[in-house]
Chain A
C-alpha cells in the first residue's frame, strides 16, 4: 500500500468515525492529546514502566525529565541532606559522561552524609531523645543514635536491623539497641506493640479497625520485657523476664501472643516472645514488613507514599499503584533486604528525575507522581546549607538535664544525635520534637515567621556579612562575572541564566553601594528565593 493510498484511507476512516459519532450524538473519542508526553517519557527501569501505565490509564501526562543542575541539587538533598559545593556543581555540570547521573547516585549512597542524614530520619521514628517524653538519658541517646548510624553506614540488611532493635537484651549504654524499649513514657505492652507495629508494619494499631482481642494478641508478645537498674547512674538493663504478667481479656482469661494474620502462638516458658515476634515480623512472608519500608522509602524520596500516609497502611487505604508497591516489595526481598537497592532503583528511575514544573495536564495531580513534588527543605537541612554557604557555624544545646549540653560550633544539624539538643531556629523550621513516631510530626510547611527569619534576622545577616563567603569572594574574585557565577553555584548549585547574570552584574556595579554590600545583598537575595528553600 502506497503512502498516499494509506493517507487517503485513513482520512476516510476518520471521517467515517466522526460521521457515525455525529449521527448518534456521542462525544468524540478521547483524543490521545497527551500522547507526545507519554512517548517522550524515558523508561529507565521497571518503576517507570509501572508508573507510566498508571499515568496513561488516568490520562495524566508526565512532566519532562529535569535538567542536570536540578537533578544534582535534588539528589544531593534527597540522599544526603546536603547541598553540593560549588566545585561539585562545576564538576558535575561539566561532566560529559552520559551515565553521570547513575554514577552520582552511587557516589552519594556511599557518602558518610548518607548515613548521617538517614539516621536523623530514623532518630525521628525511634524518638531518640535524652529527655521528655522518651527519657533515654543523654549517653544512652548518643549510644543508640550511633548504633543506628553504624547500621546504615554498613548497609546492614533491613530485616537484621529491625531484628536487632526488637530482640536485644542488655544495658542501655552498652547494648544500645535495647533503647527501643526505653523510649516511652509508659512502658506497657500495648504501647510497645503499638509502636513496633506502626514503625515496622505501617499500621496504627488503635485505628486500623482491629478488634480489642487482636490488639491484645499483639501486645502479648511484649509482656515479658523486663527492666532493671544497676549500680551505675541511669544504667538500665532490658531482659527477658519469664515472670512477666500475662495480659487478660475482658473475661479475665490470659491472652496468648497472636499475630494479626494467624493463630495464637504457644511459646514455651523459657523462650523470649520477642524472638518469636521478630521471626514472624521479618519473614519474607509477612505481608506488612517489606511493604511498609519500601513505601516509606518512596515517601521519603518522593514526598508522598504510594500508600499515603505511610504510617496508615490500612487495607482500606488503597495504594496509588499496587503493582508498583508489590514490585518494590519483591525487589527488597529478592535482594535480601538491601535498602540501598531500593534507593538506587528509585533515584535512577525517570519518575524520580521528572521536573517539578507541571504541564498543561498534570498541574492538578496531587496524589500521583507525574512531576516531582516540591517540598520545603527540612529544618536541619536549611540551617546546614546556610552554614555551608556562608562558612559559619551554629550553636545547639540542651538545657536538660543539668549540666547542660553544648555542641561545638561546627556541628551539623542533621548530625545531632539527641533530639533534646536543639535551637530555637530548628524548632521554628519544624524540627520534630520526637514526641511520637508519626511521619507527620515533622512539619515542613513554610510560615511567615520562617520567612521573616530568612529575610531579616540578625543571625542570617551576621552569617552573610561576617562569614567566609562574602569576605572570600570579594577578596579573591577574578572579575564580576566570576563572582556572580560563584554566588549562584554556592547558593543555588547552578550557573545564572543570561538574564539573571545581567541583573546581578548591574546591581554589583551600581556605585550607590560598596561592592561588598552589593555582594551581600545578592547573596541575601539568593538565599531568600523560593528556589533556595524548596527541594524541586
Chain B
C-alpha cells in the first residue's frame, strides 16, 4: 500500500513539474525554451516560410483611404477637400496621396490593397475583425494575429531570442483583447515610455532613474531579505516567481536590453526616421526585427478624425511618410525586407464624402465598406495594386479583400499550417486559420492574395 502511494505521488510530481515548466516558459515571456505549447497545437509547414517577422503599424481610429493610398482626384471637392493632387510613384500607373512624397519613390517595394472591405463601422467590432480575421459572435473571442503568430513562430526552434516574441510599441492595442480566449501569457509585452526621449525608458527593462549599480545592490538585498521564498521553496508558485525574477534580471542587467537602446544608432539614421514618437517607434521595430522578434505592433493612434480632418492630415501624414519610407529603406538595405512583413492600416477607412458642416468643419467619419491596406515584404510582391473602388472610393468594385483574406495570406507566408489549432482553455477545437474553421461564407471572401504572393 505504501509503495503504491509513493508511485502515484511520483506520477503527480512529474505532472506538476512539467505543468509549471510550461507555465513558466510561456509566461508573458522572456526566455522561451523547453516544453512548448505550439508543438501540441499544430506544426509549421515543412518548406521554409518566407516571412519570419511582422511589423504591424496599427493606425487605429481608421486612416482615410482617399487621402493616402486610394486617391480620387476626380470626385470633386466634397470628396477630396484640399488634397486633390495625388502624385505619381516610381511604378507607372500608381498614384498615391500628395502628402506621401517619400513613399511615392518606393512603390516598387510595397503593394496597395484597395479592395479592403468588411462593412462594419464600430471601432471595437471592426478592430476585432481586422485583428483576428474573425467575425464577431462565434461565441468565442479569438486572439489577434500577434498572439497567433507569436504562438507559432515565437518559440524555439523558430525563435530563440531573449526578447518577448510579441511586442507592442509603446502601448497595448486596446479596443480588443489581444490574446482572446488564449491565456494572458499570449498578451504582448508593451514597452511604455517614449522612444524619442533620451533615455528611452522601457517599462520593466530600462529604468530612467535607477542606475545599474543600484539595481545590483537592490537585487542582492532582496535576495537576503526574502525569507518567505527561502522557507517556501517547495511551493510550485514560489518557484515560478523565483525563476521569473532570475529571467527578469537577465534582461535588466543583460545583453537583450540593447535592442531598446536607440542611441546605438547613428544620428543620421535617427534623423531619417524622424525625431518623433512614431518615427523612433519604427526605428525600434527595425532593431527588434534584427533580433528576430516575430511580431511587433506599433500602436499608432490619432486617426479618428471626425473633426478638422485635413488639419490633422497635414500634421500626421508627413510624419507617417518619413518614418515608413525610412523603415522600408532600412529593411531593404539590411536585407531584412524579404523576411519581414510590414502592414499598415486601421480597423476601417474614413467616409469618402466630407462633412463640411458644423460641428465637423471638414471631417470624415468611420467607413467599413471600402478602405486600403499597405503591405510590403516577407513574400508579398511590391509595385502592385489589388482591388479597386469606384470613382468616389465608396464601394469596392473589383477584387474585394476581407480581413480574413489578408490574415490567411500572412499566415501562409509565415508558414502557419492551415490546420493548426489554438490552445483553448476549455479544450474546444479552435483553428488558427479562419478559412479552415469553415466560418467564412463564399460571398464574404475574395480569397488569398495569390496575385502578390
1/0 per position for A493-536, CB-CB distance to B under 8 A?
Answer: 00001011001100100000000000001101110111101101
Chain B, 205-244, CB within 8 A of any chain A CB? 205, 207-210, 214-215, 217-218, 221-222, 224-229, 231-232, 234-235, 237-238, 240-242, 244
Specify which of B185, B190, B222, B242 lies most central, judged by the most chain A CB atoms within 10 Å of its CB. B222
Asked if A447 and B185 sit within 8 Å, CB to CB, the answer is yes
B266 CB-CB contact with A under 8 Å: no
B252 adjacent to chain A (CB < 8 Å):
yes
Residues A185 and B2 in contact, CB atoms below 8 Å apart: no
Separation of A446 and B244 alpha carbons in the complex (Å): 8
Contact B27 A132 (CB under 8 A): no
Question: CB distance B175 to A456 under 8 Å?
Answer: no
B436 contacts chain A at the CB level, 8 A cutoff:
no
B228 touches which of A375, A399, A524, A536 (Cβ 8 Å): A536
Nearest-neighbour CB distance to chain A for B238, whole angstroms, equals: 5
Asked if A10 lies at the interface with its beta carbon under 8 angstroms from chain B, I say: no
Contacts A132-B125, A456-B248, A456-B252 given; does A438 touch B205 at CB 8 Å: no
> Do the beta carbons of B237 and A455 come within 8 Å of each other?
no
Bound-state Cα–Cα, A204 to B139, Å: 14
Assess the A133–B13 pair: CB atoms within 8 A: no
**Given A133-B141, A450-B244, CB of A59 within 8 Å of CB of B5:** yes
Asked if B368 lies at the interface with its beta carbon under 8 angstroms from chain A, I say: no
The smallest beta-carbon distance between A453 and chain B, in angstroms, is 5
Is A318 engaged at the interface, CB distance under 8 Å to the other chain? no
Report the separation of the CA atoms of residues A449 and B125 in the bound assembly, to the nearest whole angstrom: 28
Whether A30 lies near B1 (C-beta < 8 A) is yes
Q: How many residues on the B side are at the interface (Cβ–Cβ under 8 A)? A: 77
The residues of A that contact B183 with a CB separation of less than 8 Å are 443, 445
Whether B222 contacts A185 by the Cβ 8 Å rule is no
Q: Is there contact, CB below 8 Å, between B141 and A435?
A: yes
| Inter-chain contact B232/A530, CB cutoff 8 Å | yes
Q: Does B329 touch A at the CB level, under 8 Å?
A: no
Q: Does residue B184 face the partner (Cβ distance < 8 Å to A)? A: yes
Min CB gap B404→A, angstroms = 18
Taking CB atoms and an 8 Å cut-off, the chain B residues in 184-198 that contact chain A are 184-185, 187, 189-190, 192-193
Residues of A within 8 A of B426 (CB): 204, 207, 438, 440
How far apart sit A185 and B251, CA to CA, in the bound complex (Å)? 41
- Whether B174 is near chain A, meaning CB under 8 Å from some CB there, is yes
Verify A30–B185 contact, CB threshold 8 A: no
Q: Considering the chains assembled together, what is the distance between the CA atoms of A522 and B218 in angstroms?
A: 8
Q: How far is the CB of B209 from the nearest CB of chain A, in Å?
A: 6
Interface residues of A in 268-321 (CB under 8 A from B): none
Number of A residues with CB within 8 Å of any CB on chain B: 69
A113 within 8 A of B: no
Contact with A along B137-178 (1 / 0, CB 8 A): 101010000000000000000000000100000011011110
Q: Which of A185, A424, A440 contacts B190 (CB 8 A)?
A: A424
Closest A residue, CB atoms, query B228 = A531
Tell me, rounded to whole Å, the shortest Cβ–Cβ distance linking B416 to chain A: 23
Q: Which residues from chain B contact A364 at a C-beta distance below 8 Å?
A: 9, 12-13, 16
A449 and B28 within 8 A (CB): yes
B184: chain A residues at CB < 8 Å are 427-428, 430, 443, 447
Q: Is the CB of A459 within 8 A of B203?
A: yes
Residue of B nearest to A133 (CB): B141
Q: For A465, list chain B residues within 8 Å (CB).
A: 209
Asked if A529 and B192 make an inter-chain contact with CB atoms under 8 angstroms apart, the answer reads no
Partner of A185, one of B137, B215, B228, B238: B137
Indicate if B34 sits at the interface (CB-CB under 8 A).
Answer: no
Closest-CB distance, A401 to chain B (whole angstroms): 8
- Judged by a CB distance under 8 angstroms, whether B204 is at the interface is yes
Cβ contacts A249-285/B at 8 Å (1 or 0 each):
0000000000000000000000000000000000000
> Given A366-B16, A456-B252, are A448 and B225 also a contact pair (CB < 8 Å)?
no
Contact B28 A428 (CB under 8 A): yes
Q: Are B222 and A191 in contact (CB under 8 A)?
A: no
Known: A30-B1, A374-B237. A452 touches B190 (CB 8 A): no
- A43 CB within 8 Å of chain B: no
Q: Which residues of A contact B304 (CB under 8 A)?
A: 402
Residue A376 at the chain B interface, CB threshold 8 Å: yes
Which residues of A are found within 8 Å of B94, using beta-carbon distances?
A: none
**Interface-centre pick from A133, A366, A435 (highest chain B CB count, 10 A):** A133
**B190 to nearest A CB, angstroms?**
6
Are B203 and A453 in contact (CB-based, < 8 A)? yes
- Bound-state CA distance A376–B139 (Å) is 29
A447-B244, A456-B248, A534-B241 known; A529 vs B229 contact (CB < 8 Å): yes
Question: A356 and B235: CB pair below 8 A?
Answer: yes
Q: Is B215 in contact with A456, judged by CB distance below 8 angstroms?
A: yes
Q: Which residues of B contact A503 (CB under 8 A)?
A: 221, 224-225
When distances are taken between beta carbons in the complex, the residues of chain A under 8 Å from B205 are 452, 456
- Give complex CA distance A374, B30 in Å: 24
Residues of A within 8 A of B448 (CB): none
Q: Does A213 contact B (CB under 8 A)?
A: no
- Could you jot down 5 A-B contacts, CB within 8 Å? A59-B5, A366-B16, A440-B426, A443-B185, A531-B228
Q: A132-B136, A531-B228 are in contact. List 14 more A-B contacts (CB 8 A).
A: A59-B5, A133-B141, A428-B187, A433-B177, A438-B425, A445-B27, A448-B31, A448-B248, A449-B204, A453-B204, A455-B248, A456-B204, A522-B221, A530-B238
